[in-house]
């Protein structure tokens, strides 16, 4: 009997997403300016770590995890590109309206992915629901030029990122200790086992 158990790449991707999201949205909420710390996290943890997790989800046959982690990893890399390419003289700066459209498209993608979490655990559902709301707030705030909405989005984004960190650590600790230390609201639907906790 085949007993080789593959490790769960979900926590790695969730931490890459969660920590980078919290850091960026601390900036959006007005706590500190956009610096190399956020850009570096966007490249190496939010970007590369999530893409790596997505490739590992492919190995496990998890289409949802592959799509989610690889897409959001590329989101972080593209966002870094939006910030850095103009400074490097390789592209024109993006105005707020176009940035808003970019964020809105990611919001539409995230909404569709949220529906894919409905047979997964409640914690994962919260991550995707709050991320959908975050993209909507950021899109509206940029398109309308409403700074108050962008600031509110920052606080909402901190909650979203923190929920991903919680889910990542729940998966690690629950598996490592062999019992439920941090509950994630598991759903007992027949298909639930097919979707690991990914974001």
* pLDDT for the residue 188: 62
**What is the Cα–Cα distance from 22 to 165, expressed in whole angstroms?**
9
The pTM of the full predicted model, rounded to 2 decimals, is 0.90
CB 197 within 8 A of CB 39: no
Answer with the residue of higher pLDDT: 116 or 190.
116
* pLDDT tens string 17-74: 999 999 999 999 999 999 999 999 999 999 999 999 999 999 999 999 999 999 999 9
CB 112 within 8 A of CB 103: no
SS3 content of the chain, % helix, strand, coil (to 5): 75, 0, 25
Instruction: Report long-range pairs for 94-97 (Cβ below 8 Å, ≥24 apart).
Output: 96/142, 96/143, 96/145, 97/142, 97/143
**Domain residue spans of the chain:** 10-194
């Amino acid at each position: 009997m085949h007993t080789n158990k593959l490790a769960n790449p979900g926590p790695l991707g969730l931490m890459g997403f969660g920590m980078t999201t919290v850091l960026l949205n601390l900036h959006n909420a007005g706590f500190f300016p956009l610096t190399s710390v956020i850009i570096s996290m966007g490249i190496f943890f939010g970007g590369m770590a999530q893409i790596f997790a997505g490739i590992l989800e492919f190995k496990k046959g998890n289409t949802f995890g592959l799509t989610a982690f690889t897409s959001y990893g590329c989101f972080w890399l593209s966002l870094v590109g939006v910030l850095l390419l103009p400074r490097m003289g390789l592209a024109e700066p993006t105005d707020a309206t176009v940035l808003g459209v970019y964020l809105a498209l990611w919001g539409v993608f995230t909404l569709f992915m949220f529906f894919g979490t409905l047979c997964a655990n409640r914690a994962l559902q919260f991550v995707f629901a709050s991320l959908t709301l975050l993209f909507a707030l950021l899109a509206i705030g940029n398109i309308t030029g409403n700074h108050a909405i962008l600031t509110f989005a920052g606080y909402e984004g901190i909650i979203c990122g923190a929920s991903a960190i919680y889910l990542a650590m729940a998966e690690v600790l629950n598996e490592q200790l062999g019992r439920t230390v941090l509950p994630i609201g598991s759903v007992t639907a027949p298909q639930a086992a097919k979707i690991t906790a990914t974001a």
